[in-house]
């Protein structure tokens, strides 16, 4: 039987790690992820898991140890944030290139500088082309649920890629919410036993990991990563279908909210989607046909499915908690990807970007309401007055 507990988002992910009982966890503390590792370390100390817990001297070392353990055939998990993720940079790419199905909690936080410990999405958006599967979580429940699905997705023989499970730093990582915790036996049955296809410790079948790889084979290895990412979308949906059936959830590539008959919609990820739902309900009460699309899967980017879901709208507003500096109009990554997806799949609709909440600045319902009302104006006129708006910034 499942039970309900009051957990922070960090604690919820640590609880999932306990139930997964990975072979190896190598991690280094960094705010606001630190609680995850602290809670899990308590499970190790109390003998509740069989995990080999490795305390390392940096995040670069943490991911290096994770790669080594994964290559040896272990089920591996870790966690990080912001500058810690940036310090892992070299090894993050190597983890994907060596096809290591590591699961990592990324508690989203602004990257320096200036130094900032609060939420935005610059950390995960910086790793978006590293070859990792990337999942978003609106709240602690979704971070908890995504952890189990990430294990199955990454370890699928058609995928074998690392998976990052994101949630917003402090906003959900330190907020205590009601989380449904599943029975340990049910979780164990869902994730199953990891049986690696290749292991460095298989002395009867020697393998080479991470060799020098020049123009003779490097290109082909990158192409194999592409194929793995192409398989990932199908596997994500297959795993979600099984998870939904077993645990009575409704996960997919994204979550539509009052979108079916909407004329305009906002696209926003992670915790802000929860606030946006309240705004949608308030505007619906005024008779305005507004909706929401909350992305769950950012890598692989489900371009066609998003275009199909948004194709009936008269205007779309994207909300980005990061900036792609020097890109078109200095817009955010989510906007740039979505605008390209709509254009390539024949959806001609006015679309604008709203950058918000950098460095943890609050995003209030009134500001989200402004986004919706400007989207309604775009729908009425067919024109985009301003391609990129920086919400609540002093300019």
Tens of pLDDT along 158-195?
A: 999 999 999 999 999 999 999 999 999 999 999 999 99
Residues in the chain: 395
Q: CA 235, CA 367: separation in Å to the nearest integer?
A: 37
6's CB contacts (< 8 A; 6+ apart) are 176, 177, 178, 179
What is the pLDDT, as a whole number, of residue 301?
98
Are residues 243 and 280 both part of a single domain? no
329 CA to centre of own chain: 25
- Inform me whether the pLDDT recorded for 208 exceeds 90: no
Q: How confident is the model at residue 264 (pLDDT cuts 50, 70, 90)?
A: very high
Full-model pTM:
0.98
159 CA to centre of own chain: 17
What is the pLDDT, as a whole number, of residue 198?
87
What is the pLDDT, as a whole number, of residue 387?
98
Q: CA 161, CA 247: separation in Å to the nearest integer?
A: 24
Domain extent at residue 174: 3-247
CATH number at residue 95: 3.40.50.970
Are residues 59 and 138 both part of a single domain? yes
Are residues 180 and 196 both part of a single domain? yes
DSSP 110: P
- Residue 67 inside a domain? The answer is yes
Lookup result for tokens 């690392």 = 162
Host H or E run for residue 234: helix 218-247
Are residues 287 and 386 both part of a single domain? yes
Number of domains into which the chain is organized = 2
Are residues 13 and 120 both part of a single domain? yes
What is the pLDDT, as a whole number, of residue 395?
80
Q: Is the dihedral of CA 178, 180, 183, 188 positive or negative?
A: negative
Percent of the chain with pLDDT over 90: 96
pLDDT digits (tens, 9 = 90+) for 220-263: 999 999 999 999 999 999 999 999 999 999 999 999 999 999 99
- Residue 395 inside a domain? The answer is no
384's CB contacts (< 8 A; 6+ apart) are 350, 351, 352, 378
What is the pLDDT, as a whole number, of residue 229?
98
What is the pLDDT, as a whole number, of residue 209?
86
Which of 133, 348, 23 lies closest to 339 in space, CA to CA?
348
Decide which of 228, 247, 266 is a domain's last residue.
247
Q: How many CB atoms lie within 10 A of CB 223?
A: 10
- Inform me whether the pLDDT recorded for 210 exceeds 90: no
Q: Look up residue 159 and give its two tokens.
A: 């995928």
What is the pLDDT, as a whole number, of residue 197?
87
Host H or E run for residue 340: helix 333-344
Are residues 228 and 377 both part of a single domain? no
- Inform me whether the pLDDT recorded for 207 exceeds 90: no
Average pLDDT for the chain: 97
CB 107 within 8 A of CB 79: yes
Are residues 258 and 236 both part of a single domain? no
55's CB contacts (< 8 A; 6+ apart) are 27, 28
Are residues 238 and 343 both part of a single domain? no
What is the pLDDT, as a whole number, of residue 304?
98
* Cis peptide bond prior to 40, omega within 30° of 0: no
- The DSSP secondary structure of 10-30, one letter per residue, reads HHHHHHHHHHH--SEEEE---
CB 292 within 8 A of CB 326: no
Are residues 197 and 330 both part of a single domain? no
CB 140 within 8 A of CB 172: yes
CATH number at residue 334: 3.40.50.920
Decide which of 194, 222, 247 is a domain's last residue.
247
Are residues 29 and 100 both part of a single domain? yes
pLDDT digits (tens, 9 = 90+) for 324-368: 999 999 999 999 999 999 999 999 999 999 999 999 999 999 999
Which of 355, 358, 341 lies closest to 297 in space, CA to CA?
341
Q: How confident is the model at residue 29 (pLDDT cuts 50, 70, 90)?
A: very high
- Inform me whether the pLDDT recorded for 65 exceeds 90: yes
What is the pLDDT, as a whole number, of residue 391?
97
């Amino acid at each position: 039987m499942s039970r309900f507990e009051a957990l922070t988002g960090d604690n919820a992910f640590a609880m999932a790690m306990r139930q997964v009982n990975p072979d190896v966890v190598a991690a280094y503390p960094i705010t606001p992820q630190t609680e995850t590792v602290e809670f899990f370390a308590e499970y190790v100390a109390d003998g509740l898991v069989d995990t080999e817990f490795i305390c390392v001297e940096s995040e670069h070392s943490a991911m290096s140890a994770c790669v080594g353990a994964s290559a040896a055939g272990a089920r591996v998990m870790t966690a990080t944030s912001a500058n810690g993720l940036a310090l892992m940079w070299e090894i993050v790419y190597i983890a994907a290139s060596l096809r290591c199905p590591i699961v990592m909690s990324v508690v989203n936080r602004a990257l320096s500088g200036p130094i900032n410990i609060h939420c935005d999405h610059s950390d995960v958006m910086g790793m978006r082309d590293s070859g990792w599967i990337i999942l978003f979580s609106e709240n602690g429940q979704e971070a908890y649920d995504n952890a189990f699905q990430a294990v199955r997705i990454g370890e699928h023989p058609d995928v074998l890629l690392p998976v990052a499970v994101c949630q917003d730093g402090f906003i959900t990582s330190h907020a205590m919410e009601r989380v449904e915790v599943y029975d340990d036996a049910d979780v164990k049955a869902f994730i199953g036993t990891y049986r690696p296809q290749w292991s460095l410790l298989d002395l009867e079948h020697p393998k080479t990991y991470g060799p020098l790889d020049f123009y003779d084979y490097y290109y082909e290895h990158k192409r194999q990563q592409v194929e793995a990412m192409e398989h990932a979308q199908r596997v994500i949906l297959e795993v979600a279908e099984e998870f939904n059936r077993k645990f009575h959830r409704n996960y997919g590539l994204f979550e539509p909210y009052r979108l079916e008959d909407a004329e305009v919609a906002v696209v926003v990820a992670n915790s802000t989607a929860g606030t946006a739902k309240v705004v949608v309900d308030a505007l619906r009460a005024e008779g305005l046909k507004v909706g929401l699309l909350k992305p769950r899967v950012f890598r692989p980017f489900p371009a066609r499915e998003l275009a199909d879901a948004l194709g009936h709208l008269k205007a779309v507003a994207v909300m980005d908690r990061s900036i792609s500096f020097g890109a078109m109009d200095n817009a955010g990554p989510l906007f740039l990807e979505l605008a390209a997806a709509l254009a390539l799949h024949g959806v001609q609709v006015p679309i604008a970007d709203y950058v918000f909440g950098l460095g943890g600045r609050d995003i209030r319902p009134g500001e989200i309401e402004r986004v919706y009302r400007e989207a309604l104006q775009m729908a009425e006129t067919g024109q985009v007055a301003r391609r990129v708006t920086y919400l609540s910034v002093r300019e």
